[in-house]
Amino acid sequence: MDGARTRSADEAERLLRERTADLQRVKAEYDNYRKRVRRDRMAVREIAVANVLTALLPVVDAVDRACAHEPPTPGLKDIADTLRTRLGSLGLQTFGEEGEPFDPACHEAVAHHAAPGARRLVCAEILHPGYRIGDRLLRPARVTVTGPP
């Protein structure tokens, strides 16, 4: 009778270990699934935000042109400030400044002016600013460059 109980207890223990291992495996798979879904949702959100911001860049350009060519009225100034603030809160970053080194990965050279003493290409004039969100380039800065012939 003791042998039967021992075999029964051993069998129960073996089944408990198997079920515990199965449960741990299922839990790990579910955790991985949750992480993957969260990562996919974030990627879809980032792509959607980038697409919306890219579509709004012509509006930003139009507002910038209006501010540059006309005396800013209180209404135009308010629109420009609100637009910049809201787009900035979505992660839109402007880049491209005169004097910074030319980087073909984020600058588009429209013209090149030779400077005999120059050692490297430098952005001489920013024709259109560039925009990015995080590490994603939405539009390169259009620039004229000055540098070695």
Using one digit for the tens of pLDDT, what is the confidence trace for 97-147? Answer: 999 999 999 999 999 998 888 889 999 999 999 999 989 999 999 999 999
CATH code of the domain containing 111:
2.30.22.10
> Which residues, other chains included, contact 109 with Cβ-Cβ below 8 Å and sequence gap of 6+?
102, 121, 143, 144, 145
Task: Identify which has the larger pLDDT, 149 or 44.
Answer: 44
What is the structure's pLDDT at 71?
84
79 located within any domain: no
The average pLDDT across 17-34 equals: 95
Count how many domains the chain has.
Answer: 1
62 located within any domain: no
107 located within any domain: yes
What is the structure's pLDDT at 1?
56
The residue range of the domain holding 128 is 92-149
Evaluate if residue 48 carries a pLDDT over 70. yes
What is the structure's pLDDT at 3?
67
29 located within any domain: no
142 located within any domain: yes
